[in-house]
Chains A and B, each alone.
Chain A
Amino acid sequence: MTDGDMNRPANTGPSVLPAQRTSENSFAGLGGVSSPDTAADEFSPRTALPSVEVPTRTAPAPAPDVTDAPGEPLPRKRRVGGEGYFKAVTTVGGSAVLAIIAAIALFLIVEAIPSLRANKENFFSYLKWNPNPLDDAHFGIASLAFGTVLSAAIALLVAVPIALGIALYLSHYANKRVATILGFAVDLLAAVPSVVFGLWGREYFAGPVTDFSVWLNKYLGWIPLFSSETGFGHSVLLGSLVLAIMILPIVTSLSREVFMQTPREHEEAAMALGATKWEVIRTAVLPYGRPGIVASVMLGLGRALGETIALAMTLGSSFLISWSVVEPGGNTIAANIANSFGEANQQGRSALIASGLVLFAITLIVNMSARAIVRRRKKFLAAAAT
């Protein structure tokens, strides 16, 4: 009898209606089934169905006005309607993202055209930014684009090794509790608004960086990067270091995720061959995570290229192509938009929008390639998991 009781849950599958249970229970009790063979499983619903189904179907029929009660088949039209509307609404919500990206490109182009027509210089090769005179506009993004790439490159050079170190520390060195706390600290770094970093960089961090610049210039001044003729201060170095701090958490979080996904078998195989911890990381973790590292670096690059306020507050805002990172100066497309917006007239705004369009295109390309890598990776990961 106890055997029969234990078999009962196996017999009552999810598809069995409540009304059938009584008959099935009696079946199990009568048979006293000691071994649950499949014949008994299939037999019970077949005999039970026709005898009990009739009353359950007829019961709701006298109340046709209650159409909304869950569990009842709704009138066909209404059901299709609700479902259709809901699906349409969600489709619109999803498509909004595509629409917004298309709209960004469209409206930036539309608003950029007037100033580009009035421009008397080559937009891509002219250095200065003087778009406001109505009949005499001269502006170009050459120096801005150079500054954007230079500051982003330095920021990546500084941030990526440190970020990968943190990611490895969190995924393979720290124990779980420490990793949680320290991971939270890195998240906090990501939560600090960029304007606060800008303020900190301008009011506090500028001091140590200036000292460091003087030192660099004293001993390494023969390298063009560290030469200076105009003193030291709000330099590309300061902006790039602030930028490096800001992209650190982005690179860390994605690469940490990738490192954690390294197959345990790969690591254990390396350990079984007598590898030290570093050799495990070099032979198993890093090769496996390489696409993820590339993607995280590109995400960091996207952020670095588009960062505005922190750079507007820390860079010296010049319009030169200068390789010196220690002398005051430097500018980026985004920082220039923030700095020049206040004094821009209608045409000046249009010119700024034109430079923003270039920035949008660059970051779009960078982000799309990063995401394409991650996406391909995801498939690979899924394949490896099965």
Chain B
Amino acid sequence: MTTLTITDTGAQLKARRLPKWAPWAIGAAAIAVGLGGVTYAADGGPVIGAIVAALLYFIALVVISTAVEGARSAKNRAASALIGSAFVLALLPLLSVAATTISRGLTRLDGDFFYRSMNGITAFDAGGGAYHAILGTLEQVGIAVLITVPLGLSGAIYIVEYGRGRLAKWIQFFVDVMTGIPSIVAGLFVLSFWVMIISPLFNDGRPAYSGFAASLALSVLMLPTIVRSAEEMLRLVPNSLREGAYALGIPKWRAILKIVIPTALPGIVTGVMLAVARAAGETAPVMLVAGGAFAINGNPFSGQQTSLSLFIYDQAGTASQYAPARAWTAALTLVALVLLFTVVAKLIARRSKLTR
């Protein structure tokens, strides 16, 4: 009986499906109608044309698929199309930002830009450069690294190796929470704590804006990132390495310093570099506590400083026909710097033998 029914319905067991080329054909037709029809024939512009093409593709796909394959399969195709288009939508701004930054940043990418400051450059002068800003960024981020790496690393060691009980849980939780503190709040904190309360003590009672204050603010932002990444890396170190060290009679703290940390080092360095990349792009905290400057000031502990990101913000707001070009070139420099750090960090991470 059963065998009989199967042979009877054998032809219908396999659901009818659209051929593989069907979505592509529908897509081509939609683009032809959208771009050809709307953009050129109806003079709707490329953006509207693209939107019409996308909508046409979507509707045609659903209708044809419903007719041939049924509602469930049509829903599946619709979801796939939507999910795929989400990606295109996200890549568009990335490409646009990259293209704009490169094309407009190249106009002032000359020697002057990297060897001169804005000292004495008025709104009517074409030259000027960002030497002082690049110097400021490097110094501020460098000091922030010197502050946060020992602090963050010891915090991570505490969480992974020593922390038991409530304190460790609270620390872990607040490290996560601290990653979400807005950068402007970090800037306000250093403003109220360092610039307005501590620094007047050794500046004749007047608040002192300085590059060091900026590095303090950047430290507040970098610390949780570094603790978090170092913590993750230390957890990946196999326990057998620690136990092997203990079996040889090495005290725990030496085992951590000599065995656990060297093993996790590539990952820790990656975390630090990603934190540096993030900190180098921060504007708001630097603006609040470093004061900004037009001349070269190599001393982060006295006198106002600026940074590359603050330079971009300043130039973007300056009423001068030459300022936008400087802002874009500075943006290009900053993006290149940040990307360099990010890519190197990822390459180092790839060399790490520890994997999840």
A→B interface (CB under 8 Å): 14-15, 70-74, 79, 82-83, 86-87, 89-98, 100-101, 103-104, 107-108, 110-111, 161-166, 168-169, 173, 182, 184-189, 191-200, 202-205, 208, 211, 245, 248, 252, 276-279, 281, 299, 302-303, 305-309, 312-313, 334, 337-338, 341, 349, 352-353, 356, 359-360, 363-364, 366-368, 370-372, 374-375
B244 CB contacts on chain A under 8 angstroms: 14
Within 8 Å of chain A (Cβ to Cβ): is B10? no
B163 CB contacts on chain A under 8 angstroms: 94
B177 CB contacts on chain A under 8 angstroms: 101, 364, 367-368, 371
Give the CA-CA distance A74 to B250 in the complex, in Å.
9
Give the CA-CA distance A156 to B301 in the complex, in Å.
41
Give the CA-CA distance A165 to B80 in the complex, in Å.
9
Task: Name the 6 nearest CB pairs between A and B, nearest first.
Answer: A306-B182, A193-B281, A165-B86, A93-B154, A94-B158, A367-B180
Binds A, one of B20-28, B35-43, B118-126, B191-199: B191-199
A279 CB contacts on chain B under 8 angstroms: 72, 75-76
Give the CA-CA distance A97 to B227 in the complex, in Å.
9
Give the CA-CA distance A70 to B248 in the complex, in Å.
7
B153 CB contacts on chain A under 8 angstroms: 93
Within 8 Å of chain A (Cβ to Cβ): is B168? yes
A161 CB contacts on chain B under 8 angstroms: 86
Binds A, one of B1-9, B108-116, B326-334: B326-334
- Contact call B180/A363, Cβ cutoff below 8 A: yes
- Contact call A70/B250, Cβ cutoff below 8 A: yes
- Contact call B162/A87, Cβ cutoff below 8 A: yes
- Contact call B82/A276, Cβ cutoff below 8 A: no
Give the CA-CA distance A186 to B178 in the complex, in Å.
23
Give the CA-CA distance A103 to B189 in the complex, in Å.
8
- Contact call A193/B97, Cβ cutoff below 8 A: no
Residue of B176, B183, B256 with most partner-chain A CB within 10 A:
B176
- Contact call A202/B316, Cβ cutoff below 8 A: yes
A103 CB contacts on chain B under 8 angstroms: 189, 193
Within 8 Å of chain A (Cβ to Cβ): is B184? yes
A97 in contact with B253 given A89-B154, A165-B83, A196-B281 (CB within 8 Å)? no
- Contact call A199/B316, Cβ cutoff below 8 A: yes
- Contact call A98/B184, Cβ cutoff below 8 A: no
B181 CB contacts on chain A under 8 angstroms: 101, 104, 306, 360, 363-364, 367
B91 CB contacts on chain A under 8 angstroms: 185
A299 in contact with B342 given A90-B162, A169-B87 (CB within 8 Å)? no
- Contact call A278/B76, Cβ cutoff below 8 A: yes
Known contacts A100-B178, A191-B338, A196-B97, then 15 further A-B pairs from the complex at CB < 8 Å, ordered by chain A residue: A90-B162, A95-B171, A182-B87, A185-B91, A192-B335, A195-B283, A196-B334, A306-B182, A306-B183, A308-B182, A309-B309, A334-B184, A360-B181, A360-B182, A371-B177
B287 CB contacts on chain A under 8 angstroms: 338, 341
B317 CB contacts on chain A under 8 angstroms: 313
Give the CA-CA distance A135 to B245 in the complex, in Å.
68
- Contact call A97/B175, Cβ cutoff below 8 A: yes
Nearest-Cβ distance from residue B263 to partner chain A, whole angstroms: 17
A196 in contact with B331 given A71-B248, A95-B167, A98-B171 (CB within 8 Å)? yes
Q: Could you list some 23 contacts between A and B, CB below 8 A?
A: A71-B250, A73-B249, A93-B153, A94-B158, A97-B178, A107-B189, A110-B192, A191-B278, A193-B309, A193-B334, A196-B335, A198-B316, A200-B96, A200-B100, A204-B100, A205-B93, A277-B76, A278-B76, A279-B76, A313-B313, A313-B317, A353-B192, A360-B181
A303 in contact with B97 given A97-B224, A104-B185, A308-B283 (CB within 8 Å)? no
A359 in contact with B189 given A93-B158, A364-B177 (CB within 8 Å)? no
B66 CB contacts on chain A under 8 angstroms: none
Within 8 Å of chain A (Cβ to Cβ): is B288? yes
Residue of A79, A208, A371 with most partner-chain B CB within 10 A:
A371
Interface residues of B in 160-175 (CB under 8 A from A): 161-163, 167-168, 170-171, 173-175
- Contact call A169/B86, Cβ cutoff below 8 A: yes
A173 in contact with B283 given A94-B171, A103-B193, A359-B184 (CB within 8 Å)? no
Residue of B78, B159, B283, B328 with most partner-chain A CB within 10 A:
B283
B188 closest partner in A (C-beta): A356
- Contact call A96/B188, Cβ cutoff below 8 A: no
A302 closest partner in B (C-beta): B180
- Interface of chain A: mostly helix, strand, loop or mixed: helix
- Contact call A90/B161, Cβ cutoff below 8 A: yes
The tally of residues in B whose CB lies under 8 Å from a CB in A reads 100
- Contact call A94/B192, Cβ cutoff below 8 A: no
Within 8 Å of chain A (Cβ to Cβ): is B19? no
Residue of A93, A108, A372 with most partner-chain B CB within 10 A:
A93
A215 closest partner in B (C-beta): B48
Nearest-Cβ distance from residue B102 to partner chain A, whole angstroms: 12
A94 in contact with B155 given A87-B162, A162-B90, A306-B185 (CB within 8 Å)? yes
- Contact call A96/B155, Cβ cutoff below 8 A: yes
Give the CA-CA distance A82 to B157 in the complex, in Å.
15
Give the CA-CA distance A363 to B177 in the complex, in Å.
9
A308 in contact with B184 given A94-B155, A94-B168, A107-B192 (CB within 8 Å)? yes
- Contact call A194/B283, Cβ cutoff below 8 A: yes
Residue of A98, A279, A309, A370 with most partner-chain B CB within 10 A:
A309
A305 closest partner in B (C-beta): B182
Give the CA-CA distance A359 to B184 in the complex, in Å.
9
Residue of B47, B158, B192, B252 with most partner-chain A CB within 10 A:
B192
Give the CA-CA distance A226 to B216 in the complex, in Å.
43
- Contact call A82/B188, Cβ cutoff below 8 A: no
Within 8 Å of chain A (Cβ to Cβ): is B254? yes
Give the CA-CA distance A166 to B92 in the complex, in Å.
13
Interface residues of B in 66-110 (CB under 8 A from A): 72-73, 75-76, 78-80, 82-87, 89-91, 93-94, 96-97, 100-101, 104
A375 CB contacts on chain B under 8 angstroms: 173, 176
B101 CB contacts on chain A under 8 angstroms: 196, 200
Give the CA-CA distance A100 to B186 in the complex, in Å.
10
A14 in contact with B247 given A82-B254, A196-B97 (CB within 8 Å)? yes
Give the CA-CA distance A199 to B167 in the complex, in Å.
43
A349 CB contacts on chain B under 8 angstroms: 191, 196
- Contact call B82/A193, Cβ cutoff below 8 A: no
A278 in contact with B171 given A196-B331, A200-B101 (CB within 8 Å)? no
